[in-house]
Amino acid sequence: MAKKQQVTQKDIKAQIKELEEKTFGLKNKKQKAALEKQIEALRIKDNELKKNKIKKDMKQPIIQKIPVGVDPKTVQCINYVNKCCNEGLNCRFAHDTVKKVEKISIIEKNEPKHVCRFLIDALNNKEYSANWKCPFSKCSDIHKLIDLKGDTSAELSLEEYLELSRQSLGDNLTPLTEENFKIWKEKKLKKKLNIKKRLRLLLPVKKELNYLKTVLICLWMTTQQSN
């Protein structure tokens, strides 16, 4: 008994091409419709062969690779998932479902905490009370007054210290601008020039004074200028 030949995709495509060439220019409608039905049936068969080939390829075991240093038992076996692992219990990869462990950010106990800026503003504006709540719901800073005599990890950052220092200043202050800075610098230079001129006038007249007395005069003049 002769062996049955297996139909491949190449054979089907060749048959489809041959039938399409026959239908081209065919005037008989009945023959043309019969050929088109055959073409449609061959295309359905071609699609089935494609699906069977994909399933067959999926059942073929693959060589699984992992990075160096990773425990294979923590990695899911792909061949086991595809139901084609031939190793069984001797497989070095995990056949059970591997649970993904989420990374949880752990805050160290000794990590310094900062005072909430909204709390600082509330204290400065005299709006703080026992029922006060931070407007930012997800704020992780300190929101209560702490006795600093006890053991606590609360520390003021440089920004908070500068902000508190700025708010403790009075209201009768001149704002620092580029023009004000230029005026202040010019005044300082004029004071230095005046001191030098006076020293030049004093030194030739009182030659009997020693160097120490001259220095004392200079110091006295600088104190007078500052006052």
pLDDT tens column, 105-120: 444 445 556 777 788 7
CB pairs under 8 A, 24+ apart, for 74-82?
A: 74/98, 82/58
Given a cut of 80, whether residue 1 has pLDDT beyond it is no
Higher pLDDT, 2 or 6: 6
| Rounded Cα distance, 123 and 137, in Å | 19
* Average pLDDT, integer, range 189-214: 69
Which of the four pLDDT bands, split at 50, 70 and 90, describes residue 173?
confident
Tokens of 130: 């026992």
Contact in structure between 117 and 160 (CB atoms under 8 Å)? yes
CA distance 162 to 99: 49
- Give this prediction's pTM: 0.27
Query: pLDDT above 90 covers what percent of the chain?
Result: 0
- Residue 181 CA to its chain's centroid (Å): 41
Task: Please list, in sequence order, all residues whose beta carbon lies within 8 angstroms of the beta carbon of residue 16, skipping any fewer than 6 positions away.
Answer: 39, 42, 43, 46
* Encoded tokens for 40: 């449609």
Least confident of 26-40, 148-162, 176-190: 148-162
Neighbour tally for 38: CB within 10 Å: 15
Gap between the Cα atoms of 191 and 221, Å rounded: 10
Alpha carbon distance 71, 87 (integer Å)? 18
Supply φ then ψ for residue 115, to 5 degrees. -80, 140
Residues 6+ apart with CB under 8 A from 195: 218, 221, 222, 225
The pLDDT of residue 2 is 45
Cβ(55)–Cβ(82) below 8 Å = no
CA angle centred on 17, ends 2 and 48, rounded to 5° = 65
Average pLDDT of the residues of the chain: 73
